Structure 1
């Protein structure tokens, strides 16, 4: 009898728990996909598999997949789906299924095209503010010290890297000092063993023509004195010790989170005092060292998904968004993880890609989806790949891959070097990379014009062909893109020296003067130092 009663009590507990969780969700929505209709959106990191096909499924709650995300789906038939909160979506048997939505989900018929859907979604949900990040991010190449120095960031080698940029004929631009410049996370001063005179270093970088950014994150090393101070003041995310009912005022110990550099605590950006503390630290860095801006790394939703309680209730998605809010105070900024910050003057970057042709082929579809989600100021990953692990134990750099990566980036909103091309390339390949930079500089006035227009209109700087040329069956073209509305770029992203190019309807003038008339498909030779660029003339 007692066992039977125990089973009944346990059943009721599990039933009530399940019911209470599921009752937070809005009713499931099943949306019939129209004939020929294709869908994009949700997450930038899966741009390379879009438009979506049957079998795809993703829950946006607590999951930005290492890059930017938004509760937005858009179709080539002019429809869009939006919710103020994350939801799960999947595609099955000609249906789009919306489930586990935490807020109401709207399905809007905005017109007949992908651009119609985007323009209305942007206007209603993430209208542009008319501002853009620091113009130097777009007008010159960027340089990041990560691949060359990794965890050995130091004054001598940073200055050496900067001088090599100039000595090898590359233009000065933004230079980013990456992780491990401090003794530990939360200490906002340069470590003395590696940076004997950081203020002088930054003065020298300025004299060379660089603006200087510094890598920062929301983490605080848990074995530090600063951690103890912040923990006592409750400026960190607190540990609920597995008790979801524990309130912030009752919590007494910071949560310790596992991330790619070990175990640390996280600042609580729902707490105004924590925001003030962090702001003071960065202000002191700017004042003491004359820094120009910051690379705001981490902030991924997965780090906010554990047993933690914040000053004000916030989902993992909202925590990531709050991290993004912080960067709005700095025109010279960069983010990789983001949620619902479309239309804002934040420089975004695609997540780290491997040194491989497969990952190079992801750049175009991923960055075009970034634009569709409102992240128009997006940088492709570091040239040649920014995933440091893919360089470890690498017997030989693929020099063609580095060249084609530079060419793919050259006519995107930004291009960012990290691995030093003058170190890893022979003279022929280095010359080809430098020519890619020269081509970018020649088109810089058009790039800047397009970026400024985007800041006002919200429209993507980089667009897939389906956005610009609806109804022409171009939904799955993943290796060409439009820069604004006038230039079509078809970089080579495969090993070889030729490629198939699809021309939408109209007349297209090649950079060599030859005119092609679309719709048509042509196979053209692409020399090592060539970027196929076509101007729409009709």
Structure 2
């Protein structure tokens, strides 16, 4: 970069941070060989971005985590406290529709440096951890096995089967439809005869227990009417964008995957206090350990929404994240601008197919680049229930490879019961993946603690760990810290192409390989290829 260009970039950054009105549209020339990442985690398989890509972050987090951050392999980053639109056109990056000031920084030389500079300034790690059981043992979610039929008998049967088939206990998550309706914070009596006793039993089996919750409230109910009367809901402006909040009377009705509901307005401290009070009631009454916070997507806060304090849809999503800070055992799927916080983020539901399995690595490593280090790669075999409907039999190889792919990621989460859907041989392969994780858990926990202090990713893209060595588009492998290259089989078959950077590497098979090298390796049904860097 010439000195003149540096000064120009500096002035542009100063202008942008001085006032958003000066940045109605900002155009940056893309450097030779420069690759860009960022924005939305669920778009990571499309990264580095190609010509023609565009995305407007306002009111849209792509059903997962998002951050108003773009970072490049040449050390540049773009940040705003508010959402913006960006597009790649003919070797230029165009920023438009910015809702706040932009910061443009060119101080670093590579992707790692760009991330480090952005994180230190805008989302520094808070030095706190979520509950470490989420990392040290596998997680188990009742969704795929029970769907909307969550009930005491089958939850206990699922937990006992986990232990009975040789899997270690960890966190168990009770999913949706445990209450009579949304907003009623007690277990439904027709399915849970003694929920507190159920949770106590789960504890005695070695589990900690999480419960699914959302910000949605069933409108035509006793609780819904109470919340409306107290004005703790998001209101409908009824077509009047200038309507003051104190004159609002009609709640906004949100269309979501389970129908039509009102939604709490967390810009109102009263709504935050009410919701936390109900969660604490569930903890004290039923002995729960934490919560799975679902929904909270920016697109569930519509343009006609009228809140206690003016807020973008993205800010509503961020406020949903603040609740989890009070519960170390937490999990989110949708999030905005909460990097560096002790919040667990789960990748968006993946379908039961190879295409979605191949998205896990780029999505997870990009989450790390956006400050979300404590991320779970969705449920093993897929968590998108629609892709299971009508199947007489699952793809057993896919379930096995999915378990192997998750094994050395920050967390691994089961839902579909491996002992129910797999042959004896394939079940053994999945259990071996869990055993592999156990062997690496001490190192993994070191990385988890380090991430809480420094913000550095646990699972790292190849370009992050080995900048400017030609790995910007490699998506089929990742680094666990700076020591282990993990290359799971994520396609049908048993042959894997692995790209080794400079250095001396020792494979899980005991062979030593000198890098840089491109190798083809046979991957047996129960093998997870791992290469240890033993000499730089």
Q: What is residue 156 of structure 2 aligned with on the other side?
A: 159
Work out whether residues 502 and 519 of structure 1, in 8 Å CA contact, stay in contact via their aligned partners in 2.
yes
Q: How far off its partner does 1:525 sit? A: 0.3
Aligned length: 516
- Partners of 1:25 and 1:259 lie apart in 2 by 37
Equivalent residue in structure 2 for 1:49, among 46, 51, 73: 46
Structure 2 residue aligned with 1:126: 123
Quick check: 1:372 aligned with 2:383? no
Corresponding residue to 2:387 among 390, 396, 403:
390
How many angstroms apart in 2 are the aligned matches of 1:409 and 1:467? 20
2:9 maps to what in 1?
none
Q: Which residue of 2 aligns with 1:294?
A: 291
Deviations 1:297-341 (A, max 9, x none): 000001102411000111100000000001000000000000000
CA distance in 2: counterparts of 1:24 and 1:348, whole angstroms: 34
Q: In structure 2, which of residues 133, 141, 146 is the aligned counterpart of residue 144 of structure 1?
A: 141
Which residue of 2 is the match for residue 344 of structure 1?
341
Aligned equivalents of 1:63, 1:384: Cα separation in 2: 27
Contact 1:44 1:369 (C-alpha < 8 Å) held by counterparts: yes
Gaps of 5+ in 1: 1-22
TM-score by length of 2: 0.96
Q: 1:101 to 1:154 in 2, by over 3 A?
A: same
- Aligned residues of 1:25 and 1:101 also touching (Cα < 8 A): no
1:327 and 2:328 correspond: no
Aligned to 2:16: none
Q: Secondary structure at the match of 2:23?
A: coil
Alignment of 1:27 with 2:32, yes or no, is: no
Separation in 2 of the partners of 1:304 and 1:256?
A: 10
Q: Alpha carbon RMSD of aligned pairs, Å?
A: 0.9
Q: Is the 8 A contact 2:380 2:402 kept in 1?
A: yes
Identify unmatched segments of 5+ residues in structure 2: 1-19
- The answer for the alignment partner of 2:176 in structure 1 is 179
Q: CA deviation at 1:204?
A: 0.4
Mapped partners of 2:512, 2:405: distance in 1: 22
Aligned 8 A contact 1:297 1:336 in 2: yes
> Which runs of at least 4 in structure 1 moved beyond 6 Å after TM superposition?
none
Q: Which is worse superposed, 218-227 or 104-113?
A: 104-113
Deviations 1:237-265 (A, max 9, x none): 11111111111001012111110000000
Q: Distance in 2 between matches of 1:195 and 1:187?
A: 14
Residue 6 of structure 2 corresponds to none
- Paired residue secondary structure (1:507): strand
Equivalence map 1:105-504=2 (5 Å): 105-504=102-501
Q: Is contact 2:404–2:430 with CA below 8 Å preserved after alignment? A: yes
SS in 2 for 1:521: strand
Q: Residue 393 of structure 2 contacts residue 421 of structure 2 at CA under 8 Å; is this kept in 1?
A: no
Residues 509 and 516 of structure 1 are in contact (CA less than 8 Å); yes or no, is this contact kept in structure 2? yes
Q: In structure 2, how many angstroms separate the alpha carbons of the residues matched to 1:27 and 1:166?
A: 58
Q: 1:508 aligns with which of 505, 508, 532?
A: 505
Alignment partner of 1:528 is 2:528: no
* Separation (CA, whole Å) in 2 of partners of 1:308 and 1:116: 40
Gap change, CA 1:111 and 1:25, over 3 Å in 2: closer
Which secondary structure does the structure 2 equivalent of 1:531 belong to? Answer: coil
Q: Distance in 1 between matches of 2:315 and 2:292?
A: 20
User: How does the TM-score come out when normalised to structure 1?
Assistant: 0.95
